[in-house]
């Protein structure tokens, strides 16, 4: 395993401007730092542009740059894959908490069942993929940043707050403490995930080690629905997956 450090600090150890936006870019493009930086620069330009022109101007009267719209739509299309990988990351941590050997196959099997059977019960997971094969594909693509996506889900479920992608990163641009809290939760989940699947992680993106994070206590709940659904679970390998 070869860790990659998030480039969110300057040479003095301070956050770069809109550091949370660069993190979001890396979450969307974990293996394409050029695109991640382009997303960061485009959003940063848009933030500063909006600050300059807003005043009494109506948002509908502002011309949105084509490059911004293109990148934003591209990132939006990645939300389902990222959230699916995050949900599987959380389930691996749940499995480790319950004892026994964590299994990605079991995680994707449970996640598919959860997406199919509990959408009305838990609208926060409505964007999660139902297809097991797609779940596996998304998880592999976003495994190196899945702990950050997992932290989004964890915070949404534990705080009962509704969220949107733009509100998510914009809140952290405006609130340094909120950004640090998110990084702390992400890092805690990463340590648990890496401990459970040390041989399965390639090159995860991690928080800079010299960043002073607040203490984060992450608890993983094992609910009755999960236990019931997995009671008769059979290895996906045995089923020919």
From CA 185, how far away is CA 158, in angstroms rounded?
12
> What H or E segment, with its residue span, contains residue 205?
strand 205-206
pLDDT surpassing 60 at residue 96 = yes
6, 207 Cβ separation under 8 angstroms: yes
The predicted structure's pLDDT at residue 119: 55
**Predicted confidence (pLDDT) per residue in 116-135, tens digit:** 665 555 555 456 667 788 88
Q: What angle do CA 107, 195, 136 make, to 5 degrees?
A: 25
* pTM of the predicted model as reported, rounded to 2 decimal places: 0.83
Over residues 89-112, mean pLDDT = 86
The predicted structure's pLDDT at residue 170: 72
From CA 195, how far away is CA 104, in angstroms rounded?
14
129, 138 Cβ separation under 8 angstroms: yes
Of 198 and 33, more confident: 33
Out of 92-101, 192-201, 228-237, which region has the weakest mean confidence (pLDDT)?
228-237
From CA 213, how far away is CA 179, in angstroms rounded?
10
25, 40 Cβ separation under 8 angstroms: yes
The predicted structure's pLDDT at residue 72: 66
Label residue 184 by pLDDT band (50, 70, 90): very high
Q: Which residue has the tokens 């702990």?
A: 147
CB atoms within 10 A of CB 150: 28
Across all residues in the chain, what is the average pLDDT?
79
Q: Going by C-beta distance under 8 Å and a sequence separation of 6 or more, which residues neighbour residue 20?
A: 169, 172, 173, 179, 182
């Amino acid at each position: 395993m070869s860790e990659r450090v998030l480039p969110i600090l300057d040479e003095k150890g301070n956050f770069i401007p809109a550091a949370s936006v660069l993190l979001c870019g890396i979450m969307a493009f974990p293996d394409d730092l050029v695109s991640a930086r382009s997303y960061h620069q485009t959003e940063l330009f848009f933030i500063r542009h909006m600050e300059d022109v807003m005043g009494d101007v109506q948002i509908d009267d502002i011309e949105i740059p084509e490059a911004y719209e293109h990148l934003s739509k591209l990132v939006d299309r990645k939300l389902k894959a990222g959230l699916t990988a995050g949900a599987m990351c959380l389930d691996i941590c749940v499995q480790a908490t319950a004892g026994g050997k964590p299994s990605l196959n079991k995680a994707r099997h449970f996640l598919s069942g959860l997406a199919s059977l509990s959408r009305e019960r838990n609208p926060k997971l409505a964007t999660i993929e139902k297809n097991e094969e797609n779940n596996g594909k998304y998880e592999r693509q976003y495994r190196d940043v899945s702990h950050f996506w997992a932290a989004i889900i964890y915070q949404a479920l534990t705080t009962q707050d509704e969220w949107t992608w733009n509100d998510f990163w914009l809140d952290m641009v405006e609130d340094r403490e909120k950004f640090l809290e998110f990084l702390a939760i992400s890092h805690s989940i990463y340590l648990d995930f890496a401990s459970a699947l040390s041989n399965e992680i390639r090159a995860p993106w991690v928080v800079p080690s010299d960043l002073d994070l607040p203490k984060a206590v992450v608890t993983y709940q094992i609910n009755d629905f999960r236990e019931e659904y997995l009671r008769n679970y059979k290895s996906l390998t045995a089923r020919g997956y």
